[in-house]
Structure 1
């Protein structure tokens, strides 16, 4: 980041410095570009607000969705919903011709930048929690999974995913490493480095968290993939052994053949895999399908955020910075589309909600039954 940007967060900056910053803004982005950015922000705001609200309501309406990973999905949707709602103030900032257009309500811009920063950190924490959840579910005995993901522990984990980003944001703000408010360089409400000497710490505050979560996610899914491959290799080997045994006893009576086939099928489910972990019935197609879809959510998040992470490292990339921010914010409205198209459980519930066919919602909750009995549309 150049010195002009850092002068924004310094309350002692002279007016001539601010004039230089505004002039550099006009060279950096034209008003037409900012109008396009405002339109994109408006689309993210509308679709993100509607989509994430539907995800949260879906969990409230169906007990089928009351699973440990979906607790983190709801937490993630809540963070995306808040991001989408507060983006309206970025639209206001982008359309302003000279500075923040509401001088008596600067706190709105400060709160917007703070909330979005916290919600992005919360999203990262929830993605890490989702990845660890899938790792433990797939690779560990089910009793271990139940012990770790008890209702109390899940509640503490969700609280942790929200408290840590809030504490980090407050720490960075109180130490004046990062400021929150209107950024004259990009015409949006966002966080920025307060002083040039804190440039390295400012970059680390953005990049380090993303890198740490990326490592956790990658390792978790690598171990899941390794475990699944070992399981299916062992299953294929047992099937081949069963076929050989069946061929060698082809002269026996029908009852013995049936007993052999039953034993082979039973072994293919209950025998331990090469890693020594028991293969549970719970590791069926839907478990793996859910895991793949949640992996897709993680991949989309990092595809959206990695360009931003790379660009803030290179000070001369300012002309692309606003577009990288928009790509990162776009992630807030993508996840509901993934759930609606690919998640085996969310797909059914969201489809029934959108079509107003509430009788098709599987395992409706008490809240859903009360709404339906009164003829109330819970979406409205």
Structure 2
């Protein structure tokens, strides 16, 4: 007979309640056998503990309070799970923006704000934050064949440096800022190259071309609202196509030789012209000095003549004698011949041949040699001092009579 059939001894045949000790806490059941844990009882104990933590009351062990305690425990567990989920959700909203970055906040897919560097918080799963580096210098290289104004083809290679100045426009206004930059760079470069000649692009016009491309490219970026600021454009290479590169190299070399020759000629002119100007200025100064000297000398002679005329008008004889003596002195001083009037009336001409031979190459010393010979002859002359005095006076008288 089954243990739960009517009329049977169900108490003795109940497999969950042994005939031994009572099992108030899930202990031994049916003698020495160990039964499975009571799940409802374990959940009830957990709910009682949670209710005790949050200020609730534990459920009773009776049958009448079991249903109410179970519902209260379920609500408490849900509250705990909700609080934990809320804490985790709030913790997920903290983030840090670096000093070189700016954060673009999208709330439910729509632009909300731009956050600055530092510790920030936004509601997670509602706001989406994208960090944009606004100080990093990015580089875009572009190379293409261009047609110049004089209908030549050049191969131009440029490098564009830019930064994301406006993070909102850089992230949201264009789909691909780098692609837009490349297309705008090619358009600006074609405009500049198309308005320039090939020789200018290949030689000294690269810097001017780079500045023009940068200005045009920045205008394109502002019109597209890309949020990009062009910091620099460098023309890395500009050359003719490879098929005609050798010919253009020869042309460039010839042009460099021409420029070098011009520089050498200018250097020579700069060294010669100042020297010639200095010589001309010196000649002008010498001429002015000579003119001043002649004018001053003439002025002095005229003043001297006027003074002499005044003296001559006062004392004609004395003035005439003085003028004669001065003239003879000036004439005889430079004459190497010496005339001596000796006693007896015979004039003796002394010709110092040795001194003349010595002084042939030095005319300035002839006066000195004549004076020295005259002194030597006077010292060896046997005439006395009285005769020399008489001779000199007689010679002076004869000179005046001859005059």
TM-score (norm 2): 0.20
Highest CA radius of gyration, 1 or 2? 2
Q: Answer 1 or 2: higher relative contact order, Cα 8 Å, separation at least 6.
A: 1
Greater strand proportion: 2
